Amino acid sequence: MLVVNSWFRVSMACTAIVLVPLGAWADGPSWPGPAFPDWRSPGQVKQACDAGLRQAGAALRQLEEVAPTAGWIAAYDAFYATTEDAHGPVEFIRHVHPDAKVRDAAEACELRWQDFLTRVGQNERLYRAARAVEPADDIDREALRQTIEAFEDSGVGLAPARRTRARELANRISALGQQFDKNIRDSATRVPFTPAELVGVPAAVWKGARRDAQGRVLLGLDYPSYYPVVEHAQSPAARERMWRAKMNEGGAANIRLLGEITRLRRDYARLFGSDSYADFMLRRRMARDTASAQRFLDDVQQAVREGEQRDLAALREAKARHLDQPLDKTTLERWDVLFYTERLRKERFTVDEESFRPYFPPQESLQFVMRIAETMFGVRYTPVPAKLWHPEAQAYAVSDATTGKPLAGLIVDLYPRDGKYGHAAVWSYRSGSTLAGRLPQAALVVNFDRKGLTIDELDTLLHEFGHALHANLSATRYALNAGTSTQQDFVEAPSQMLEDWIFDRPVLKLFTEVCPRCEPVPDELVEKARAAREFTKGSLTARQHLYAAYDLALHGPDAPEPMAQWRRMEGATSLGHVPGTMFPAAFSHVAGGYGAGYYGYLWSLVVAMDLRTAFAGKRLDATVGRRYRDTVLGQGGQRPPQQLVHDFLGRDTSPKAFYDYLAR
């Protein structure tokens, strides 16, 4: 769900030490630009890290000598790109490399980069130069504005002691955030189940799984294991145990880390005269201030309250019917929600998420989302050979379908494995620049069942692919505001826009094109899935609202203790808080780059639904798609989001489509 850019996105030349050019296939497109580094040992990471930092230091000293004339922005951007080339792959590889020692080396390197980047952000000579440059046009003006703000938010304008404190805080927050992710990624929790407890769970999920000495099946918390158990296990005890294990992922250690992170962020914001980290961050975003974001969340809550109650009542009735007990003796527990949602889907809409897997094999699903992009945006994806961190990771060259011009590179890592990042995300580790002729590269990471995807998972793939498109089809002048480096409460919009594409018949027909041997998914099944999704939108939106409101509260002036705040807020919802669970311990978004930004998912969704109106009835229309590629995706962050939306829709953005959707 996530998109990751390096913070203070400054980044080093593709050195011969770390980067080896890929061989091209005879006639087709080749991988554009440097190959992803093929690190096999911690020593190689360390060596690349030393070299990268050395070169970044040298490039910084050169940049300090550049006069603040019209060419300064391009020089600054070249430094940014240089730094990103060394830093981007290291920042990314720590999430996916199969060797824990390599991941550890990358994490150690990342902390050194963080310190380097914070120091760049506090560099007075660069700051003074940025302020002295006369912008030639709007794009330069926007690039300068963002650059100057990034310097100011790094503490360049603070008195020396405060500036040092800001750097210490930034470095400490990075280290704590790393530890938070590591505690989740490396936990290797296995939940034991007797085969009898797994009645209802598709056999393919657990038949081949490891067993303990008593013959119990051991299942991890990865999505392909977790969801089938909580959605399908007939045994309430099994569901509860799995759910509780997931709700304790990260553990008490992560609650302490989250508390420290949010307190330090508050302290950081106070150095700049802001009351809270939320205020400090939101002043640079579409929302502008915490009060506006809060008002928006209140409106959403109001709009979904009734729908949520209706959903929960239906689930509780389903439970009473299933257990053949009176409704007033029936309590809906949190670990019941997914199970009875599935039952109701089957009952009301006769749709079973599992039944989609045979229609959507993983590799063909990837080709399918690529075909959607090819049809809408006039591009082509070509697999290219690459030596990557794992044999299953794949590389694609993206080119313009009409001209054949190379556009970008995309790496995809589809399946779960131990030590791999467990959610779905895109890393924009290399930003494009038309001025420098530099082509973007991104990596898409998901964790799918090898047997195939459910329609919800296909939706997730399309969402992440939307981020990859945003990164890959960027055509900005400067790397520093390429693709996904737009305002954070807008960045989800292009991905969310695509989410409902899969319920469209003409779109789904493309599956047959990429997989002639695949049986086409029946229209009727898709129609039912769409109806089933409508049915849970109240409770799902209410949950998103809770996450967003919690994140803002955590980053408010008090920086409250995370569990106390969570117990209060989750406790105030209809299903309440379950003692002994600690959902925030695995809430990586708030510990990481989405801190005080989770509301952006709902905020962006408003824009996404508005963007969809231009594609109404013609989701694959290449003319609208091309206009969208040029006015929105291609523009990255070089114009404010409001303007991009206006350029595409021919009017200001409106929340009408969003509230109509919630009300219908």
Residue carrying the six token digits 């399946």: 415
Select 334 or 589, whichever has its Cβ closest to Zn ion: 589
Shortest distance, position 339 Cβ to Zn ion, whole Å: 27
Shortest distance, position 425 Cβ to Zn ion, whole Å: 8
Shortest distance, position 5 Cβ to Zn ion, whole Å: 12
CA dihedral for 462, 467, 471, 476, sign (positive or negative) = positive
Select 42 or 636, whichever has its Cβ closest to Zn ion: 636
Select 140 or 492, whichever has its Cβ closest to Zn ion: 492
Q: Report yes or no: 246 and 176 within 8 Å, Cβ to Cβ.
A: no
Contacts with Zn ion, residue ranges (CB under 5 A) = 1, 492, 495
Shortest distance, position 464 Cβ to Zn ion, whole Å: 7
Shortest distance, position 296 Cβ to Zn ion, whole Å: 19
Select 374 or 492, whichever has its Cβ closest to Zn ion: 492
Residue carrying the six token digits 């981020």: 467
Shortest distance, position 471 Cβ to Zn ion, whole Å: 12
Q: Report yes or no: 143 and 481 within 8 Å, Cβ to Cβ.
A: yes
Selection from 93, 131, 122 nearest residue 109 by Cα: 93
Shortest distance, position 548 Cβ to Zn ion, whole Å: 14
Q: Report yes or no: 372 and 507 within 8 Å, Cβ to Cβ.
A: yes
| Coil, strand or helix at 331 | coil
The CA distance from 486 to 174, in Å, is: 21
Number of Cβ within 10 Å of residue 130's Cβ equals 23
The CA distance from 661 to 233, in Å, is: 32
Pairing mode, if any, of strands 406-413 and 191-193? unpaired
Burial of 273 (0-12, 13-18, 19+ CB in 10 A): exposed
Shortest distance, position 222 Cβ to Zn ion, whole Å: 19
Burial of 196 (0-12, 13-18, 19+ CB in 10 A): exposed
Select 85 or 492, whichever has its Cβ closest to Zn ion: 492
Give the number of C-alpha atoms closer than 13 A to the C-alpha of residue 604, restricted to the C-beta side. Answer: 26
The CA distance from 101 to 46, in Å, is: 11
Number of Cβ within 10 Å of residue 330's Cβ equals 16
Shortest distance, position 97 Cβ to Zn ion, whole Å: 23
Q: What is the DSSP letter of 378?
A: S
Select 1 or 175, whichever has its Cβ closest to Zn ion: 1
Tell me the angle at which helices 251-271 and 160-185 cross, rounded to the nearest 10 degrees.
Answer: 160
Shortest distance, position 426 Cβ to Zn ion, whole Å: 8
Degrees (nearest 5) of the Cα angle 612, 484, 419?
110
Pairing mode, if any, of strands 217-219 and 191-193? antiparallel
Select 460 or 565, whichever has its Cβ closest to Zn ion: 460
Q: Report yes or no: 429 and 104 within 8 Å, Cβ to Cβ.
A: no
Select 399 or 496, whichever has its Cβ closest to Zn ion: 496
State which H helix or E strand residue 349 sits in: helix 337-349
Select 81 or 468, whichever has its Cβ closest to Zn ion: 468
Q: Report yes or no: 626 and 293 within 8 Å, Cβ to Cβ.
A: no
Structure tokens at 389: 């961190």
Select 444 or 479, whichever has its Cβ closest to Zn ion: 444
Select 105 or 498, whichever has its Cβ closest to Zn ion: 498
The CA distance from 310 to 316, in Å, is: 10
Shortest distance, position 255 Cβ to Zn ion, whole Å: 25
Select 114 or 495, whichever has its Cβ closest to Zn ion: 495
CA dihedral for 487, 491, 497, 498, sign (positive or negative) = positive
Shortest distance, position 597 Cβ to Zn ion, whole Å: 12
Selection from 458, 535, 470, 537 nearest residue 504 by Cα: 458
Shortest distance, position 636 Cβ to Zn ion, whole Å: 16
Residue carrying the six token digits 């939706």: 459
The CA distance from 321 to 344, in Å, is: 11
Select 565 or 588, whichever has its Cβ closest to Zn ion: 588
Position closest to Zn ion via CB = 1
